[in-house]
Chains A and B, each alone.
Chain A
Amino acid sequence: MYDQKGCTVDNLVELKDVYFNRGNTVIYEGVNLQVPRGKITAIMGPSGCGKTTMLRLIGGQLKPRSGSVDFAGHQVPELSRGELYELRKRMSMLFQSGALFTDMSVSDNVAFPILEHTKLPREIVDTIVKMKLQAVGLRGAGGLQPDELSGGMARRAALARAIALDPELIMYDEPFTGQDPISMGMIVKLIRSLNQTLGLTSIIVSHDIHETMGIADHVAIIANKQVVAQGPPQALLDHESALVRQFLNGEPDGPVPFHYQANNYLDDLMARGG
């Protein structure tokens, strides 16, 4: 978070001057991002701008071309595979599709990371699973298979799995996309209450401005291959950049033009006749 003078205070994740390419396409050119510990940080931007990519950079699934990605004092891109896997036990990611394992019941999905990374006896694991499912309101659905769940339930089940090992950081990739208003409300409530009760640091990637601005403590906006603005939500709503305001207010035309680049309309129409 920022103090009054704009200095950074205790960030769990920090990206500095990150450059990233996909083949020849430049995705990031000098990105800086701070994720304050214990807070909810929102990363917003138009689709395809590289929000998921940002999460994968933090999780070490992708490596930046240059720049630093710091997680709790570790340089993620420089870790060995073993160190990276060790570090990933402290973070978790809720994927856009939920990504429940289709060949396991809901309970087994939640138990999976616990069984994989601890040597706890089965009864204790089962108890933890029940507690995690209770936290997301799905204790009764433990015996169901993932394909029997509605979209919103699947996402909550995935959330139970994501918090199974009590991570320090949880990254949500578009948690609201494709949800009906009720399950949207449930997920908003869950993200907020998990953040408060477990003291998690949360990163939400989204373009649902309304929901996201409502629960975020810190917002970063990505455009033009960079983080163009970050700060508390209120400060961004009347940001000096027209681009930021266009995005946050959802205006159809502005610095991002409504019309895809084209030659003169009249010339184009006349060209056919001539």
Chain B
Amino acid sequence: MDVIANLGRSSLNILRGMGAALIMLLQSIIGKPQPRKSFPLFMRQMYVVGVQSMLIILISGLFIGMVLGLQGYTILVDFGAEQALGPMVALSLLRELGPVVTALLFAGRAGSALTAEIGLMRATEQLSSLEMMAVDPLRRVVSPRFWAGFISMPMLALLFTAVGILGGYFVGVQWLGVDDGAFWSVMQASVDWRDDVMNGVIKSLVFAFVVTWIALYKGYTAEPTSEGISAATTSTVVTGSLAVLGFDFVLTAIMFS
């Protein structure tokens, strides 16, 4: 009986948490737009969340692309199909690795930073302070960070994909000697704009939404102590990554089956 009661209690807690997270999100993004105030805040967060994540995204994209080139070549060359290296690299990146790996890296780099920053603002009473100054911390702190995360991550995923394809090109064509023209033309012929590119972008929009939302909620509700903040940061990375992988399966099943 205890097991069932505990199961029920923890499901209720999870539901309650999701409800609270939804309310937080709605309160922060719904309301009279004040572009003159919020645009500079948004741009600043685009820099912090987006631009500052670029280096890790570029480097990871390059390496993943190079590994794909190597692995793909050794598999394809056995079948004499090394001309298919172009589409193999491009499709893996566009459909899967671009959105997913970017989201995982984003959760670790920007998500954890968002959680820690907001948790620290809670712990040092900056959020309460805003409230007492009659400034809504959800609109002021959470909202620009949400939009910045939501918008910058799909852009990072495209960057990741582009650099990854270049990495695959360097290894496959420049190093292992796959034919240059074939690499690009077979890729162009087999990549479909709607099925591959758009579906990848939709995936990364969903991941961006989920990861940013989790990071902000975990920070906003972090226990205002150092243990609380570090637990919230860890939880952002763990929950965010699991959510990305879970949604990836669901979306892949819907899109490509």
Contact = CB atoms under 8 A, between A and B. Distances in A.
B60 interface: no
Interface in A238-272: none
A113 B128 contact: no
A88 B133 contact: yes
Contact of B128 (A61, A101, A116): A61
Interface in A78-105: 85-86, 88-89, 91-93, 95-102
A85 B139 CA distance: 14
B125 A97 contact: yes
Given A59-B132, A61-B131, A116-B135, A101 B126 contact: yes
Contact of B125 (A85, A89, A92, A95): A95
Contacts of A92: 132-133
Nearest to B140: A116
Contact of A88 (B121, B125, B126, B132): B132
A5 interface: no
A59 B133 CA distance: 10
B102 to A, nearest CB: 26
B135 to A, nearest CB: 6
A210 interface: no
Contacts of B136: 85
B124 interface: yes
A99 B126 CA distance: 5
B134 A86 contact: yes
B129 interface: yes
- Please classify how large the interface on chain A is, using the bins under 10, 10 to 19, 20 to 34, 35 or more: 20 to 34
A22 interface: no
A88 B128 CA distance: 12
A91 B131 CA distance: 12
B132 to A, nearest CB: 5
B134 A93 contact: no
Nearest to B123: A97
Contacts of B135: 113, 116
A113 B132 CA distance: 10
Interface string B135-152: 110000000000000000
A202 B135 CA distance: 22
A52 B240 CA distance: 34
A97 B124 contact: yes
Contacts of B131: 59, 61, 88
Interface string B171-182: 000000000000
B128 A95 contact: yes
B132 A116 contact: no
B134 A99 contact: no
A89 B134 contact: yes
B134 A85 contact: yes
Contacts of B129: 93, 95, 99, 101
Interface in B103-136: 120-121, 124-126, 128-129, 131-136
B133 A112 contact: yes
Nearest to B44: A103
A178 to B, nearest CB: 14
A102 B127 CA distance: 12
Contacts of B134: 85-86, 88-89, 116-117
A97 to B, nearest CB: 5
A96 B125 contact: yes
Contacts of A99: 124-126, 128-129
A116 B133 contact: yes
A217 to B, nearest CB: 24
Contacts of A61: 128, 131-132
A117 B134 CA distance: 9
Interface of A: 56, 59, 61, 85-86, 88-89, 91-93, 95-102, 112-113, 116-117
Interface of B: 120-121, 124-126, 128-129, 131-136
Ranked nearest first, the 7 interchain pairs of A and B with the lowest CB-CB distance are A99-B129, A95-B125, A99-B125, A85-B134, A88-B134, A93-B132, A113-B133
11 contacts: A88-B132, A88-B133, A88-B134, A92-B133, A93-B128, A97-B125, A99-B128, A100-B126, A101-B129, A102-B120, A113-B133
